[in-house]
Amino acid sequence: MALDKATVARIATLARIKVADRDLDRMVGELQTILNWVEELNTVDTDGVEPMTSAVEVTLPMREDKISDGGYATKVLANATEPVTIGEGGFFTVPKVVE
């Protein structure tokens, strides 16, 4: 995949990273190197290799699924600026954070 300055500028905008115009040429080279390395990894033959989540086979201990804490809805809702009472669901509203 060939990159140019416009593509790198668009990627920076999408990632919300401020990149000066004078740095775009350097960034093109760096990103191209990274993409080439990823393409090289795609050429590795992994047939017959099982995916692993750890270098050592580990089984996590299991515990009984029971409530060990909670039941403090009144105390939690006491901090809310606009609480909804427990009879109506027991939650509070927060400001919208997604545009």
Write the pLDDT tens digit of every residue in 56-87. 888 888 988 887 777 777 777 777 777 666 66
- Three-class SS string for 28-92? HHHHHHHHHHHHHHHCCCCCCCCCCCCCCCCCCCCCCCCCCCCCCHHHHHCCCCCEECHHHCCEE
- Cα(58)–Cα(56) distance, rounded to whole angstroms? 6
- Cα(30)–Cα(5) distance, rounded to whole angstroms? 12
Q: How do residues 17-47 score in pLDDT, each as one tens digit?
A: 999 999 999 999 999 999 999 999 989 998 9
Nearest Cα neighbor of 3 from 21, 27, 20 is 27
| Size of the chain, expressed as the number of residues it contains | 99
pTM over 0.75: no
Between helices 5-14 and 24-42, what is the axis angle to 10°? 90
**pLDDT in the model for residue 72:** 77
- Cα(71)–Cα(28) distance, rounded to whole angstroms? 55
